[in-house]
Amino acid sequence: MTAAVREPGRFVTGTALFREESWGTVEDVRPIGVFDSGIGGLTVAAAISRELPNEQIYYFGDTARCPYGDRDPEEVVQYSIQVLDFLYEQGVKMLVVACNTATAAALPILVERYDVPVLGVIQPGARAATTISGHGKIGVIGTAVTVRSGAYEWAVKEVDNSADVISLACPAFVPLVERGDLQGPEVESIVRESLETLVAQSVDTLILGCTHYPLLQDTIQLVMGSRVRLISSAEETAREVRLRLAAAGELNTSNFHP
């Protein structure tokens, strides 16, 4: 970044804004950039907003090229870089890849590309699942790219190597959400057919490994049964955002927005 330029009441670094309060503290009022392939990442943006109500969020949903789940990983990397380059140019203080497919395919590349923190949604969800699971039998549902990558198995076993992880691609779910079909007999039938394998495996915890899936949470819970704990990566990622910003001293604790 360029050198900071002093202006009355704030520091300007490119488009990055810092506000100096009267008692001498500096509020980092730069926005947080959140990206997904479509509308599913709004679940993450909403969770961040609840966790950090003073923060400004810039959201980019790539609905023109959604879904990412059936694309080649190289395409996903290319699209992710294009979107995150745009968000980075807006002067964000953090980039959140609120898309499991993009996290699985591109996160290491994205982390190296930018000089602000880049967070994905896989590791926070995996950590929560290992904490909650009573018997270490953890199911993961996601897009084909996410499941083929093995990213969740790796993340879960990094925390608990004894965990039994059963992954299942559910390609029908994202189109349902993008169309706004969230409940009803037809939706329940599709969800029941898609999850038949996991129901038979008797998992005790199920990671919703796509940020679209929490919008189908009620139907998924109905099909899986009340004893199965559902893990939304959205809430866990929001907590990770708060912890990372707090550790870096970059929280906006005021109600000021530029």
Could you list the pLDDT tens digit for every one of the 258 residues in the chain? 222 222 333 322 334 454 444 433 457 899 999 999 999 999 999 999 999 999 999 999 999 999 999 899 999 999 999 999 999 999 999 999 999 999 999 999 999 999 999 999 999 999 999 999 989 999 999 999 999 999 999 999 999 999 999 999 999 999 999 999 999 999 999 999 999 999 999 999 999 999 999 999 999 999 999 999 999 988 889 999 999 999 999 999 876 666
**Within a domain: residue 129?**
yes
Q: Which domain holds residue 216?
A: 122-233
Q: What length does the chain have?
A: 258
Judge if 113 and 126 occupy the same domain: no
Judge if 83 and 172 occupy the same domain: no
Judge if 216 and 143 occupy the same domain: yes
- β pairing state of 205-208 and 57-61: unpaired
- β pairing state of 26-28 and 16-20: antiparallel
**Within a domain: residue 209?**
yes
Judge if 45 and 61 occupy the same domain: yes
Judge if 58 and 20 occupy the same domain: yes
**Within a domain: residue 258?**
no
Token couple for 16: 């990055």
Rounded Cα gap, residues 98 and 106, in angstroms: 12
Judge if 13 and 47 occupy the same domain: yes
Q: How many structural domains compose the chain?
A: 2
Judge if 244 and 216 occupy the same domain: no
Judge if 160 and 115 occupy the same domain: no
Judge if 190 and 242 occupy the same domain: no
What order do you get walking across the sheet with 205-208 strand by strand? 164-169, 137-142, 205-208, 229-232
CATH of the domain at 26: 3.40.50.1860
11 burial level (CB within 10 Å; 0-12, 13-18, 19+): middle
Judge if 66 and 139 occupy the same domain: no
Judge if 188 and 208 occupy the same domain: yes
Helices (H), the chain: 42-51, 73-89, 100-113, 122-132, 144-149, 151-159, 173-179, 185-194, 196-201, 217-224, 233-248
Catalytic residues, which ones? 99, 210
Judge if 151 and 93 occupy the same domain: no
Contact between 178 and 186 (Cβ < 8 Å): no
Contact between 223 and 206 (Cβ < 8 Å): no
